[in-house]
């Protein structure tokens, strides 16, 4: 879900895109990656009061080859030098995540890794935090924030981030404070526009936001490097992420958290799954957010190209509504294929999803494994709002247990088949 180093050595290296030295082997690069991660987490263990380093898997997405920093409990991995190698079973989805597998709780990271060392450590430390969440009193949560695909939700998130960017670049405490006040005013107005948004945003910020803050801080960037990092991250977010629904927290909390760490080092060690981040930020910086947030937000927007942002989001809203209408016809009103979950595991790209109010969310790409088999989607599927089923288009071809449709492939396990009903829809049938 990010840009990545090592698979370039397996698939062919591209200068400037992957760290590629002909004299190195994949094993040597894996060893170096684990060594660098261990050194960085140990050096910054004061961040959480513990060393986050632990079991890690680096996985080649094309071949499923994996490289681990320690053995598994079943002896499936083979020792090569200082690391362990093997192949990830097809039933396990490859993603930047944490998972229980073969007796250990691992941080999994997709290959190739980022070329720059700081970016590599940032990514790895993010996933090591997810691995350590239970011990740090955080329970993983992944609530929907569909309001951030709405025009006004996007406008006031973009304005908040613009103000945060200026706060980080500020050279005086007074200027920093002014931009922080503006950022928090945009945030509070967004919450006023969308009741309940404070709860759902906070939950995802405690999950992905704190994880990304951890990655940022373990890199130990100085101010110049931090400003450069945030500028690039925000540019990429605004230009390459079609939706903010699941990705916004990767921007907000690393920026707020970095600023908090300047005035209150160790602030994060008091957090848990019940923490409320917005009140904490307001209190720590002593921000007097205006009571009339609508008027204030409208006024402050002028300092952050608010008119241009609104124009861009108005144009996007028109296009996205057309896309939603097309997806609604395909997955709801027209005949389709419905796959109900039994024991689902999923990986997907969080940057390009399309929420459909009342029905769920369309994921343009995803991979789902379940008791019935493996579904691979390349051109869109609708995940129900309750996460109890996924819907794709009609099947085109049947070849024993392999079924394909436009933009999807279903590899069925023995004992399952697709059955057509009177309405023309297909559904899974478990054979007796």
Contact in structure between 278 and 257 (CB atoms under 8 Å):
no
| pLDDT score recorded for residue 351 | 83
The pLDDT tens digits for 248-277 are 999 999 999 999 999 999 999 999 999 999
pLDDT at 23 over 50: no
The pLDDT tens digits for 94-112 are 999 999 999 999 999 999 9
- List Cβ<8 Å contacts ≥24 apart for 23-30: 26/67, 27/67, 27/80, 27/81, 27/83, 27/85, 28/81, 29/5, 30/6, 30/58, 30/67, 30/83
pLDDT at 17 over 80: no
What's the mean pLDDT when you consider all of the chain?
A: 93
Average pLDDT over residues 186-193: 98
Q: Tokens standing for 42?
A: 């140990």
pLDDT at 18 over 50: no
The span from the first CA to the last CA of the chain, in angstroms, equals 39
The pLDDT tens digits for 340-366 are 999 999 999 888 899 999 999 999 999
Contact in structure between 226 and 136 (CB atoms under 8 Å):
no
Q: How far apart are CA 107 and CA 96, in angstroms?
A: 8
Question: C-alpha distances in angstroms, 258 versus 50, 219, 382?
Answer: 19, 12, 36
Side-chain half-sphere CA neighbours of 429 within 13 A? 9
| pLDDT score recorded for residue 24 | 52
Average pLDDT over residues 280-292: 98
pLDDT at 13 over 60: no
What are the backbone angles phi and psi of residue 196, rounded to the nearest 5°? 95, -15
pLDDT at 387 over 80: yes
Q: Quick one: pLDDT band at residue 185, thresholds 50, 70, 90? A: very high
Residue where the block lists tokens 């969080």:
350
Helix %, strand %, coil % for the chain, to 5?
45, 20, 35
Contact in structure between 120 and 56 (CB atoms under 8 Å):
no
Average pLDDT over residues 3-7: 29
Contact in structure between 297 and 189 (CB atoms under 8 Å):
yes
Residue of 18 and 4 predicted with greater confidence: 18
| pLDDT score recorded for residue 334 | 97
Average pLDDT over residues 1-6: 32
In three-state secondary structure terms, 218 is helix
Positive or negative, the Cα torsion across 335, 336, 337, 343? negative
The pLDDT tens digits for 135-173 are 999 998 888 899 999 999 999 999 999 999 999 999 999
Q: Quick one: pLDDT band at residue 5, thresholds 50, 70, 90? A: very low
Query: Closest by alpha carbon to 91, among 399, 375, 409, 427?
Result: 375
Average pLDDT over residues 284-290: 98
Q: Quick one: pLDDT band at residue 122, thresholds 50, 70, 90? A: very high
Positive or negative, the Cα torsion across 234, 120, 1, 246? negative
| pLDDT score recorded for residue 58 | 98
| Number of other residues whose CB lies within 10 A of the CB of residue 108 | 25
pLDDT at 4 over 70: no
Contact in structure between 156 and 80 (CB atoms under 8 Å):
no
């Amino acid at each position: 879900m990010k840009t990545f180093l090592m698979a370039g050595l397996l698939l062919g290296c591209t200068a400037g895109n992957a760290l590629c030295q002909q004299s190195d082997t994949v094993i040597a690069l894996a060893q170096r990656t684990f060594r660098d991660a261990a050194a960085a987490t140990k050096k910054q263990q004061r961040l959480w009061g513990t060393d986050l380093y632990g079991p890690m898997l680096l996985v080649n997405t094309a071949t499923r080859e994996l490289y681990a920093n320690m053995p598994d409990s079943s002896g499936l991995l083979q020792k090569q030098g200082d690391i362990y190698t093997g192949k990830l079973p097809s039933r396990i989805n490859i993603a930047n995540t944490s998972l229980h597998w073969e007796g250990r709780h691992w941080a999994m990271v997709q290959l190739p890794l980022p070329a720059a060392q700081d970016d590599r450590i940032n990514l790895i430390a993010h996933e090591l935090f997810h691995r350590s969440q239970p011990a740090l009193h955080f329970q993983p949560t992944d609530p929907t924030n569909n309001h951030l695909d709405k025009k006004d939700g996007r406008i006031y998130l973009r304005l908040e981030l613009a103000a945060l960017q200026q706060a980080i670049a500020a050279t005086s405490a007074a200027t920093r404070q002014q931009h922080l006040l503006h950022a928090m005013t945009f945030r509070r107005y967004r919450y006023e526009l969308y009741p309940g948004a404070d709860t759902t945003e906070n939950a995802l910020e405690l999950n992905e936001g704190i994880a990304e803050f951890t990655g940022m801080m373990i890199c130990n960037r100085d101010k110049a490097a931090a400003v450069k990092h945030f500028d690039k991250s925000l540019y990429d977010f605004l230009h390459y992420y079609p939706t903010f629904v699941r990705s916004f927290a990767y921007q907000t909390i690393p920026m707020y958290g970095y600023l908090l760490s300047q005035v209150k080092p160790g602030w994060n060690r008091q957090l848990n799954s019940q923490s409320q981040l917005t009140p904490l930020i307001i209190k720590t910086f002593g921000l007097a957010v205006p009571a009339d947030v609508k008027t204030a937000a409208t006024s402050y927007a002028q300092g952050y190209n608010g008119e241009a942002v609104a124009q861009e989001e108005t144009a996007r809203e028109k296009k996205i509504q057309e896309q939603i209408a097309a997806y609604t016809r395909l997955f709801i009103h027209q005949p389709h294929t419905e796959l109900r979950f039994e024991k689902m595991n999923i990986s997907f790209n969080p940057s390009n999803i399309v929420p459909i109010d009342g029905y769920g969310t369309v994921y343009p790409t995803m991979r789902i494994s379940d008791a019935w088999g493996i579904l691979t989607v390349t051109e869109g599927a609708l995940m129900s709002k309750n996460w109890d089923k996924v819907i794709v288009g009609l099947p085109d071809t049947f070849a024993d247990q392999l079924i394909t449709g436009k933009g999807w492939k279903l590899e069925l396990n023995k004992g399952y088949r697709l059955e057509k009903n009177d309405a023309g829809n297909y559904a899974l049938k478990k054979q007796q």
